[in-house]
Amino acid sequence: MLTSKNNRLALYVSAGVIIVLILFAFLRDNSEAITLSEATMILKEKSVKKVVVSKEYVYLKTDDGYFKIASSQVTPKMFVDYKVEVGNDSNILVYILFIVVILGLGSLLLRIWQKKEGITLSTKGISGDIPLGSSQEGISSIKSTNSDVSFDDIGGISDVKIELEEIIDFMKNPKRYKSFGARMPRGVLLVGPPGVGKTMIAKAVAHAAEVPFYYQSGASFVQIYVGMGAKRVHDLFSAAKKNAPSIIFIDEIDAVGKKRGGERNDEREATLNQLLTEMDGFEGSSGVIVVAATNKIEVLDSALLRAGRFDRRVFVELPTKRERESILMKYLAKIPHELDVKVVANMTVGFNGASLAALVNEAALLSLRQNDFHMTIEHFHQVRDKVMYGKKKLKMLNDKQKAYRITYQAAKVSIATYFDLPFEKLMLSNEKLTPSSDEPFIKEELEFRLKMLLAGMAACDIKYGEHSSSAVNDLSDAKEIVSKMCRDYGMGSSLIPSSDEERTILERQYNEAKELLVAMSGVIKAVEEILLERESITKESVKKLIDEIL
């Protein structure tokens, strides 16, 4: 599908060809050259209708066509019976056509120079790219890009792709839908947590539809100077309409589309009003679709969300296990490895697409640093926590502090393995063992998680009669889970929790964790010995110890 710029170029070329053809038709001499004897015979036959004399030739017009003979070969006596016309070599039509050609070439050169120098005129006259911003920011332009990201480059979005294929088909075959009376959606809102690939999805739509792609972040519309944000919005939509069909992608639209009212912000509201006006001003034939992304749909203004502006909402969630496998296969395609992708997918619960990309890259860098020829699962174990929580160096511990740490971590990893919580490996420096997740849990699963978070404190209290301050993060997570169970999930003794309900649940889970740890004392001791020697242990190793000892 040609873009409007290609259409304009084709129009200029076509106009130039037509002018050249017209000039050729008028300037070409179509007469047939004849000899003096042939001219004498034609004159004698009285078949000549018109005689035209020019500087070089004498033209004879007959019913059979135009003939010419050199002026030096004829004499005036030959044409005594004919009215002779003098030909004008400077035909005014030729001059007019030459002027048109010169003006056309001049305007084309002017446009090329304007684009190189960044000079733009008003949209009513000859214009280049539409200016963006103010004189204080310098002269810049809104430019479209042709996306090179395809759906084949994105793994794990099969459901999203189905939702968007209709829009792609509409942009490719608009007549099919218009003939049926259907109109193209004006806006598509991609909703999902950070890092799930919303921007890549928008680029893939533009690539599949083969249309120009205009990218802007919501924050870029927010200006200090009143009215400049609204101008940016107007310029962006004007550029997209000039190059329709096209896609406008506004990332983090909540930066400009927050609910109005309350705190006063005239500039942001003016920008939002301009955005609403531009989306309302679309015609059915404009061929422009607005794709926006946000992870905070609850803060968007209701006027922006109503039908007719964003007609379609597509929710992009964190990838499932199967989707993580698909994403990992994309990233591992060009990297030498000896991996079972399913194992890596199992150990990356809660990872988004961006985190998976970072994980594969960190594992690849680690394998290069260690001069290994292939990536292995061990490389992923070593970098997973670095990607999830950042690299933290274990503080220097004295012998007593290290003993507390080993007991604390041994209890956590044993309980986590006993209840089959999602993790693959524990290191002595781990702050968190299993990633937090917003997946729906039943009450039993939340209680398992609570026991794991409280197990370290319980084990230290059993063995040493006290625990260290390193329990602060696990205790905070446990309190948050209990609070949600009582206040949000209705999992207390009643739907409306009593004032001491949370304390009761927390103490009960702590006591149950203590009882379980006493029963698993042999396992805990064996895990402690491994952690003391290696400072790490895998879930598989703990499973074997549980099966052997219990």
Share above pLDDT 90 across residues of the chain, in percent, rounded to a whole number:
14
In 357-442 the beta strands, taken as DSSP E runs, fall at: 425-427
Residues 432-443 have pLDDT tens digits of: 776 665 566 788
Q: Are strands 288-294 and 57-62 parallel, antiparallel or unpaired?
A: unpaired
**Phi/psi at 51 (5° precision):** -125, 125
Interval 220-276: pLDDT, tens: 666 544 567 778 888 888 888 888 788 888 888 887 777 776 555 566 777 788 888
* Token pair recorded at residue 293: 């992304």
Write down the pLDDT at residue 392: 53
Please state the rounded mean pLDDT for residues 69-77: 72
The overall average pLDDT reported for the chain is 77
Interval 410-438 mean pLDDT: 80
Q: Do domains 4-92 and 399-549 have the same CATH topology?
A: no
> How far is the CA of 413 from the CAs of 176, 212, 404, 505, in angstroms?
60, 52, 14, 22
Mean local confidence (pLDDT), 498-519? 92
Tokens of 476: 């905070």
What's the whole-number mean pLDDT along residues 26-45?
71
Q: Name the fold adopted by 399-549.
A: Methane Monooxygenase Hydroxylase; Chain G, domain 1 (1.20.58)
Give the integer Cα–Cα distance in Å for 424 and 410: 14
Give residue 479's pLDDT band: very low, low, confident or very high (50, 70, 90): very high
- Is the pLDDT at 202 greater than 80, yes or no? yes
Per-domain residue ranges for the chain?
4-92, 151-315, 321-389, 399-549
pLDDT at 129: 40
pLDDT at residue 89 tops 60: no
Q: Which CATH architecture has domain 321-389?
A: Orthogonal Bundle (1.10)
Class of the CATH domain delimited by 151-315: alpha beta
Supply the DSSP symbol for 439: S
How many other C-beta atoms are found inside a 10 Å radius of the C-beta of residue 145? 11
* CB atoms inside a 10 Å sphere around CB 119: 13
At residue 507 the predicted structure's pLDDT band, cuts being 50, 70 and 90, is very high
Q: Which residues, at least 6 apart from 305, have a Cβ–Cβ distance to it below 8 Å?
A: 189, 297
Place of tokens 């005594």: 80
Mean pLDDT of 205-217: 82
Average pLDDT, stretch 153-180?
A: 77
For residue 216, give the 3-state DSSP assignment.
Answer: strand
Say how many Å lie between the first and final Cα of the chain, rounded: 68
pLDDT at 281: 61
Strand partners, 313: 189
* Closest to 161 in 3D by CA, of 205, 195, 213: 205
pLDDT at 545 over 80: yes
3-state secondary structure of 19: helix
- Select the CATH number that applies to the domain covering 4-92 from these four: 3.40.640.10, 3.40.50.1000, 2.40.50.140, 3.30.720.210: 3.30.720.210
Identity of the amino acid at 164: L
Residue 137 has pLDDT above 70, yes or no: no
Which parts of 210-265 fold into alpha helices (H)?
228-242
Q: What are phi and psi of 285, to 5 degrees?
A: -100, 10
Give me the residues paired with residue 217 across strands. 251
At 525, is the pLDDT very low, low, confident or very high (cuts 50, 70, 90)? very high
Mean pLDDT for the stretch of residues 41-48: 74
